[in-house]
Amino acid sequence: MGQKLVIEIMDVVKKLAEENKYTLILEKRQGVIYTQDALDITGKVVEKYNSQKAKK
């Protein structure tokens, strides 16, 4: 991924964490052995990223 895209996605993840009062978010590919699908916020991140890009 390009550096700019990584920074934009991290900003979206931070905003989602603040809005939903998450205390921890892990990147799924970096060592998570198990998680419930209900805990996966990838869709929310993509949706919020896309809506922010549409506004620009």
**What value does the mean pLDDT take over residues 30-47?**
80
**What value does the mean pLDDT take over residues 32-52?**
84
Structural domain boundaries in the chain: 3-55
Rg (CA), the chain: 12
Q: Which of 3, 8, 2, 20 is nearest to 52 (CA)?
A: 8
Contact 12, 48 (CB under 8 A): yes
The pTM score is 0.64
State the pLDDT at residue 48.
92
